[in-house]
Amino acid sequence: MRDATSRFPENGRRRGCSHRADQILEPLRTVAFAAETETDSQPARSDETTSGDMIYRRLGRTGERVSVIGVGGFHIGMQKDEKESIRIIRSAVDGGINFMDNCWDYNKGESEVRMGKALRDGYRAKSS
């Protein structure tokens, strides 16, 4: 049986990813590893697909294919440095996460602004 550290080399660190971003993403890696371990022993759902390390499912009747792990936007507006928020979101997208939640009311709109900036430069298309 593999463990989470062998699954994610160098403890999951990506180039340009801060230590704080690693701390935030580590629980996601653990959940992804647990989901993978669970699906290894059980038949996959008929609506599940995988790409790389990420598992995707259809979202209700929309037909959209979303990652089983999402990124909530509430915490994105809390970092002192906006660049750290952007690194967190982009690291998630690089890891295959395309399911993100946000609201105009999170941190007086700052979470939406930061997520919007993170999805610039081709990251919006990459998350589709």
H/E stretch holding 50 reads: strand 49-51
Q: How far apart, in Å, do the first and last CA atoms of the chain sit?
A: 32
Q: Is 106 a catalytic residue?
A: yes
Residue 85 phi, psi (nearest 5)? -60, -45
State the CB neighbour count (10 A cutoff) for residue 84: 18
Give the span between the Cα atoms of 32 and 115, in whole angstroms.
Answer: 22
Give the span between the Cα atoms of 37 and 47, in whole angstroms.
Answer: 18
> Of residues 33, 56, 106, 123, which has the active-site annotation?
106
State the CB neighbour count (10 A cutoff) for residue 89: 23
Show which residues are catalytic.
106
